[in-house]
Structure 1
Amino acid sequence: MSDDEMSVESSHDNDNVANCNNDFVNNHENDLETIRTIPQDEQSTSDNIADGGFTTEKTHEYVEVPYLEKNNKQNNTKSTFWNPNNLNDFMSSSQFTEIINTPASVTHGELFFLLLKFSVSNHLPTSAFHNLLNLVNTFYESPVLPSSKYVNDKILNTTSEVQFHAICSKCSIYLGEFGKDILPDKCNFCSTEVNLKQSSNDSFFALINPASQIKDLLEVHEDHYENIMKNRVPNHELIEDVYDGRMYQKFRAQLPLDTKQSFVTMVMNTDGAPKFKNGPIVYPLLDIVPEPRSKEETVQIMSNLEDSDDIMGIKCPSPLINLSYFDIIEGIIPDYLHCCLEGVAARMMGYFMKNLSAKDLENLDNKMLKIRAPNQLQRLTRSISSRNDWKAREWENFILYYSIPILEPLLSDKKFDHWLLFVEGLYIILQEKIEIQNLNRANELFHRFVAEMDENHGKRAMTYNTHILLHICRSVHNWGPVWANSTFPFESANQHVLNAINCAKGVGHQVIRYVNINHSLLVMQNFLTPINNEEVQRYCEEVFELRIDKALKGSDDSTYFGRGSY
């Protein structure tokens, strides 16, 4: 409380205690209606007031200040407005009805950028973003932001870079491009009537030219790009990133001289591929390791395919064979997330848990829940019983950090040693820097793990994911550590795309709008960053971080603080 403010309290016996100090008494005597004292020891009371006290020490007498003038209430409105006790207190403050005259501290562009980023971060639909712009415009005597839906669509939706292609809703045959080709009313292949003019029609696919987005990304990360192109020297004895991979270096060596320092490599991911049929698959272990299938051999097999037959597991030609500098064999790498974490590890835990009694499972759950993980681990420990709901990162944490002490008392020595082969191999290929000799060690561990799988868990355990472990170290040698090209970023991006879908109608258009808006955000952020004031930068850093500071009560009265790193 400031020197200009005074607190008044009433006791039940109508005796009021005055909290005042000498400065207030000296400077604001006119603001008091009365100051009445009940003296028995007048001198001690006066001295006590002057010293800032509330009562006399000997006689316990009180100084009564019954009321303050109205103009003194106005001096207290600021604290009432910013720290009210209730709604009435808040509404009774003078600032509640005063026109705001505080100057703005951001530019028009910064304000538009912050509102757009706020909308994206909170998964607001575009209609809510337009309403937000109109709301801000009501704060000012004249509009400060473009609020027209038509204008904002032109700003954010670069539809000139999107091509829409029609397909038949029944047989998926290609019909042509919207706005360019004359589209038929009936499918030429299956004779199904096609009404492409309906707004509800979703029989189409969209192509987005990524050239401008790649260009903008390179501009944002220009320093990193220049460092990789010109300064980074690959280490043939140490694998630290994609750039140290054998196939990456081979790809770079075959580029023309004029493009050796001006190229971009990309990691692609696809979902929705046909699932493998259930059933055991036997992979023979030979003394002589067969040569991997070559690109040329694979292309030749594709050219010999009939309509319904498959040859050596190849079912149809792939359009990827038409990509320049792309090797259809070595260029397709094992997916660490689905293969190792949600594949092999999840299946192995199913084998371990199937014969446990309810009491044993309860004991395991209690052990897991008592683990106090450091804040570097993004995912907290959950019970073994809930493992079907575990995320991939939870599986990774379990394999590397928890599984050995949890499973050792449970498994036989033979099965436990078999599990250790998988854990150690995974630990090696997840290192930030992998020496070639350690990579060879991991390759040996995975081969032993696969070789002993049948003996420990039967032919049913010889699954596709188990077989892929035989190739994963070769992939690390070719393209760097598994963390450098895993599908974790794609899974995260898929979740963001799902969050951008607000209704079942026009899903394709919503996804395209989401991509365009995020591209616009990147362009604006790159433009505004050099001129942003500190408040805008701080707001973006604190409010729009993906990982938010949290405090969570864990098991055994433990509390987790901060944000996770892994």
Structure 2
Amino acid sequence: MTQANVNTVNQLSRDAFGKSLGESSQLEESVNHFISDHGGGSSSSNNGDIESNSSTTDNNEQHSDNSDDESHGSIVSSDDDNDDNGDDDDGGDDDGDDDDDDDDENRAGQNGDQLAVNPTVENFKLMLRENYSHRIDAPVVASRGNALLMVLEMAKQNSDTVKGFIDSANLVNSLFATPVLPTSKFIMDKLLRIDMGIEKHYYCPNCKHELGIFQDGKSLKCTKCHPVEENTEDSEKERNTNENVEHFVIFNLVTQLEIVLKKLFKLRVKLFKPSDALDREAGHFKDLYDGSVYKKFARDFDKEDVKVISFTICTDGSPIFKSSALSIWPIFVMINELPPGPRFSNLLLGGLWFGKSHPDMKLFLTPFTRKLTNMSFGFTIIINAELQWKVEIYLLGCCVDSGARGAVQFISTHGGYLSCNWSEIPGIYIFGAVRYPMMPDRPPLRTCESLIENGKGFTAALATRQRLPTDRLERAALFKGAKGVTPLAESDSFDPVGGFILEHAHCVYLGIVRNYASIWHAMLNNKRGNDREDKLKLLNDRLQSLHPPIEVRRLPRILEERVKWNAKECENFLLFYSIPALQGLIPFKYVKHWFLLVQALHLLLRNDVTLEDCNTARTLLCHYCCDIQELYGEQELTFNCHLLTHLCEHVLRWDPLWAISGMAFEDGNGVLKRKIKAAKGIPNQIHRNLWQECALDIIREEFSSNETKVFCNSLRSKQLLKKGVFTPSCNFMGKSVKLQPSARES
């Protein structure tokens, strides 16, 4: 066989098959057989020619210690060469592939139109016909359930649309004489649909009047906004018109809870028993079970023969598209009795409001609370053939940010008078907004009884059209800021004051940290001449020169990008970067003042917070809030700064700050947004993904062969590090480099 044919076969194999050819021993033998049939000569001489040609083509190629690889030349070692260049799925270095692409382009440019008549193309076609034209006669090792599971898992991991999912199923069907998987969206929906008990509650968008749950043949025309006469032809037409109405969705929590409990039971994740909270060490706060709210719940509602489970809910808006005002407001449900890891990763979806406006919380939360109340009467969950639990569900907490907390609690929003959720501090109007200076006497705290009484008084005043004061402060003071009674108060286990959790991620990280980062940026910008540029550049250089460990997922960003910092980045800046980065750039009195907040948060974020830690943090936060007016002015006495005075009360009432955080619920919002593929039918898309994931858990339980598990795990897991030397005392990561010994070492 001539050298030209050897080079041609070598290049065709590298270009046409790449790594896959080097990974298949069967194809290696086919190529060698093709060489011997069409070129003659001995196998050893041919292999030697190929190997020598490969070494001249790729200067970076390293010889393998494996004798088999050496004997087959570049056809086999191409896989190792690509690995050495870092070509992997984890974003490794792609230098090897880029070099090959450049060589291909150069050769294509040199050959020009000769490629169309190159005789090696016919050789390539001949090799394809010899190796790929035969019907597949390999035995099938997977069942139909295994195939369905693998297609579902692949669609989930790749975030496929419904069409992409059906196309994958049809690809599998095309390999068989008869279809083995559903061939259409309709059949797939019928197969995978689980009765989730979804309820569509319709309402009038103008007057927010509830029109009820959808039923076939029922009129959805709002009679308040569009009254019609009885027994007329027009009235019958009006009744059958369902235009200009909107709806929100309430999901069935029982089915979701059953699937989660079954999955965690197999993983041997145990539920916390509420009565055990009464035996925990006093004065130490290690989780939410040590707070006063949960201990009171354990005394009042725990039972011996029933699995008592408590929920913490959250609702917050999240925009869907940048070019539209549409947003979703999901109700996420967290199971308090799970350990922290499973607690954050196994959120349930209780409801979904979508539209261009904020939800009417009375309309949205009333049917959801009624469902929770019905679940408190008890129901049965079948864990397996030998075990079933009687379960009772109770609402315990509500974790929402300041923007939504006022609407859910039915008090003034955070921009109005008497808007504090836990105290009756009035606030003062200065600099165009309500501010909250420190008072010599502590303002009275809200109680459950007073809040409900004031809420009922406000509702009665509106119903009777009572004339209210025109002054905003007087009108708010008349009912202590109450705007009604929250529907969550219908649950016997929920306290409309103590049941609301101070969500520190939005308050401290996204609120205070971002605000003071802007103040310091403006402070450095006010410097004159080169001093301003030097200090800003030095601060950014300090932030970018930091190399945090792998546990800190995000690298620090410059101060100009502070608006884009998420809650985790703000937390890292507060706890780890801010003090050393600001040293020498702003006056020391500001750094010392900031250190009070940093130290207080360090104490309240410990795994084991003691009463002494709470008292120390309370003192630090009190000094911090008192010094704000002197250092920064009254305009910085914001609502978030006032909430710092309640932070230690929150720990005593609930938990360390990390035990319940808005970060987990924000992650849930991101998961829901990734499920939306089109602008129409958003609730249906989310609902379909919800019951498909539930069906996937059931199918995974029924059809999990070893081969299927390997395939599914390869989709879910990240690629492991391929290069490294691991010893008991030290691990060396990356590609090895040969170093010459120094003169002293030699």
The normalised TM-score by structure 2 is 0.59
Structure 2 residue 247 is the aligned partner of structure 1 residue 204: yes
Matching residue within 268, 271, 274 for 2:313 = 268
SS in 2 for 1:263: strand
Bigger mean CA offset, 357-366 vs 459-468: 357-366
Match of 1:543 among 701, 711, 715: 715
Say yes or no: does 1:218 pair with 2:386: no
Q: What corresponds to 1:469 in structure 2? A: 644
The one-letter code of the counterpart of 1:205 is: F
**One-letter amino acid of the counterpart of residue 237, structure 1:** G
Listed one character per residue, the Cα deviations across residues 415-438 of structure 1 (whole Å, up to 9, x for unaligned) are 111101111111222222222221
Q: Higher mean Cα deviation, 360-369 or 387-396?
A: 360-369
Which residue among 166, 171, 183 is the counterpart of 1:135? 171
Distance 2:40 2:721 in 1: 52
> CA contact under 8 A between 1:281 and 1:459: conserved in structure 2?
no
Within the candidate set 564, 567, 570, 1:392 is matched to: 567
Partner of 1:365: 540
- Kept in 1, the 8 Å contact 2:202–2:214? The answer is yes
Could you tell which deviates more after superposition, 470-479 or 516-525?
516-525
Cα separation, 2, equivalents of 1:106 and 1:230? 48
What SS does the aligned partner of 1:264 have? strand
2:65 match = none
Q: What is the rounded CA distance, in whole Å, between the counterparts of 1:276 and 1:256 in structure 2?
A: 36
* Separation in 1, partners of 2:588, 2:149: 60
Equivalent residue letter for 1:504? A
- Among 576, 601, 613, the alignment partner of 1:426 is 601
SS in 1 for 2:480: coil
Does the CA contact (< 8 Å) of 1:429 and 1:476 recur in 2?
yes
Write out per-residue CA displacement over residues 114-172 of structure 1, whole angstroms, 9 at most, x where no aligned residue: 32232223222222212221121112222222233223212334456011121113222
Shift in Å at residue 255 of structure 1?
1.0
Contact in 2 for aligned 1:173/1:189 (Cα 8 Å):
no
2:675 counterpart letter in structure 1: A
Q: 2:294 aligns with which of 248, 252, 265?
A: 248
Unaligned runs of 5+ in 2: 7-32, 50-71, 83-99, 105-119, 229-234, 318-403, 408-412, 417-431, 463-467, 469-474, 525-531, 723-732, 735-746
Q: Counterpart of 2:584?
A: 409
Verify the 8 A CA contact 1:238 1:434 in the aligned structure 2: yes
**For the Cα contact (< 8 Å) 2:192–2:692, is it kept in 1?**
yes
Is residue 269–residue 490 contact of structure 1 (8 Å, CA) maintained in 2? yes
- CA distance in 2: counterparts of 1:137 and 1:32, whole angstroms: 38
Q: Judging changes above 3 Å, is the alpha-carbon distance between structure 1 residues 33 and 425 closer, same or farther for their aligned structure 2 residues?
A: closer
Change (3 A) 1:280 1:120: same
Q: AA paired with 1:456?
A: L
Contact 1:175–1:184 under 8 Å retained in 2: yes
Aligned to 2:514: 346
Alignment of 1:548-563 (within 5 A): none
SS at match of 1:265: strand
**Structure-2 separation of matches of 1:195 and 1:114:** 49
> Aligned in 2, Cα 1:291/1:169: closer, same or farther, shift over 3 Å?
closer
1:85-100 equivalent positions in 2, closer than 5 A: 92-93=127-128, 94-100=130-136
Q: 1:9 aligns with which of 3, 15, 24?
A: 3
CA contact (8 A) 1:115 1:132 kept: yes
- CA change 1:34–1:338 in 2 (3 A) is closer
Tell me: CA distance 1:257–1:364, structure 2 relative to 1, closer, same or farther (3 Å): same
Q: How many Å separate the matches in 2 of 1:137 and 1:231?
A: 54
CA–CA separation in structure 1 for the residues paired with 2:286 and 2:239: 51
Residues 235-272 of structure 1 show CA distances to partners (whole Å, capped at 9, x for unaligned) of 3232221222221111111115346x511122211124
3-state SS of the aligned residue for 2:250? strand
Tell me the distance in 1 between the aligned counterparts of 2:439 and 2:255.
50
With over 3 angstroms needed to count, the CA separation of the structure-2 counterparts of 1:371 and 1:33, relative to structure 1, is closer
Number of equivalenced pairs? 491
Question: Secondary structure, in 3 states, of the residue corresponding to 2:312?
Answer: coil
- Residue 326 of structure 1 aligns to which amino acid in structure 2? F
Residue pair 2:488, 2:496 contacting (<8 A) in 1 also? yes
Amino acid at match of 1:325: S
Q: Which amino acid aligns with 1:277?
A: G
2:454 aligned to which of 301, 308, 311: 301
Larger deviation, residues 391-400 vs 195-204: 195-204
Alignment equivalent of 2:618, drawn from 443, 458, 480: 443
Distance 1:11 1:129 in 2: 44
2:704 to 522, 532, 556: 532
Contact 2:539 2:585 in 1 (8 A): no
Query: 1:221 aligns to what SS in structure 2?
Result: helix
In the aligned structure 1, how far is the partner of 2:612 from the partner of 2:2? 79
CA gap 1:252/1:201 in 2 versus in 1, 3 angstroms = same
Distance in 2 between the 1:286 and 1:446 partners? Answer: 14
Distance (Å, rounded) in 2 between the aligned partners of 1:497 and 1:196: 35
1:363–1:180 distance in 2 versus 1, CA, 3 Å: same
Matched residue type, 2:145 = G
Secondary structure at the counterpart of residue 314 of structure 1:
coil
> Of the candidates 152, 156, 176, which is equivalent to residue 192 of structure 2?
156
Q: Does 1:277 align with 2:277?
A: no
SS at 2:314 equivalent:
coil
- Cα distance in 1, alignment partners of residues 164 and 238 from structure 2: 31
Give, in whole Å, the separation in 2 of the partners of 1:285 and 1:236. 31
Q: Secondary structure at the match of 2:501?
A: coil
* CA contact 1:175–1:187 (8 Å) conserved in 2: no
Secondary structure at the aligned position of 1:355 is classed as helix
Q: Is the 8 A contact 1:240 1:481 kept in 2?
A: yes
Alpha-carbon RMSD across the aligned residues, in angstroms, is 3.8
Identity %: 24
Tell me the CA shift for residue 321 of structure 1. Answer: 0.8
TM-score by length of 1: 0.76
How far residue 290 of structure 1 moved from its aligned partner, in angstroms, is 4.3
Q: Note closer, same or farther for the CA distance 1:363–1:131 as it changes in structure 2 (3 Å cut).
A: same
Which of 675, 687, 691 lines up with 1:512 in the alignment?
687
| C-alpha deviation, 1:334, in angstroms | 1.0
